[in-house]
């Protein structure tokens, strides 16, 4: 059985060593996993949805663990420079709610966090992600102020 993306990240957060986390992420490497990590933590990715959790009803359907993998193509509608930039905001938000209602409830919570530029699992940081997948996330260094 395929692990859901939220299960992969949850399991990874429980591993005590950085090297163990890196190896675990690499074992479960996939385009959907990389997309979720990048779109949550890379400052270059801008979401076009409002902050916060929208009102939605988690699915009661069983065995939805792989559903988010199938729905990844929908994510392009929720970021700047993605698909259909002229899509009205209400339609965009409705599509997001429909996505949340169709995927595993834990994946839906993950997606709400990702949209708000967060990963809800401890120890999943940009530095860890770039160790596992070099260059996936831009890490912006703080600029030192120059005194005149």
Q: What is the 3-state secondary structure (H, E, C) of 54-120?
A: CCCCCCCCCCCCCHHHHHHHHHHHHECCCCCCCCCHHHHHHHHHHHHHHCCHHHHHHHHHHHCCCCC
Q: Which domain holds residue 60?
A: 5-132
Structural domain count of the chain: 1
146 within some domain: no
139 within some domain: no
What local confidence, expressed as pLDDT, does residue 34 receive? 96
24 within some domain: yes
144 within some domain: no
87 within some domain: yes
What local confidence, expressed as pLDDT, does residue 135 receive? 93
The two tokens of residue 70 are 């199938």
Q: Cα separation of 42 and 138, whole Å?
A: 6
Q: Cα separation of 125 and 131, whole Å?
A: 10
142 within some domain: no
What local confidence, expressed as pLDDT, does residue 142 receive? 55
22 and 131 Cβ atoms separated by less than 8 Å = yes
137 within some domain: no
The two tokens of residue 115 are 């949209």
- pLDDT tens digits in sequence order for the chain, 148 residues long: 689 999 999 999 999 999 999 999 999 999 999 999 999 999 999 999 999 999 999 988 877 778 899 999 999 999 988 777 788 999 999 999 999 999 999 999 999 999 999 999 999 999 999 999 999 998 776 555 555 4
């Amino acid at each position: 059985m395929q692990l859901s993306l939220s299960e992969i990240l949850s399991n990874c957060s429980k591993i005590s060593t950085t090297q163990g986390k890196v190896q675990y992420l690499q074992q479960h490497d996939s385009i959907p996993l990389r997309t979720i990590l990048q779109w949550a933590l890379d400052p270059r990715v801008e979401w076009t949805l409002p902050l916060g959790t929208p009102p939605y009803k988690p699915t009661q359907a069983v065995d939805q663990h792989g559903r988010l993998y199938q729905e990844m193509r929908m994510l392009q509608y929720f970021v700047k420079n993605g698909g259909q930039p002229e899509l009205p905001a209400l339609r965009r938000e409705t599509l997001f709610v429909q996505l949340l209602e169709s995927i595993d409830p834990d994946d839906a919570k993950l997606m709400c966090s990702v949209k708000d530029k967060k990963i809800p699992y401890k120890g999943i940081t940009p530095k860890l992600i770039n160790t596992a997948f070099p260059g996936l996330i831009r890490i912006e260094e703080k600029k030192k102020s120059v005194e005149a």
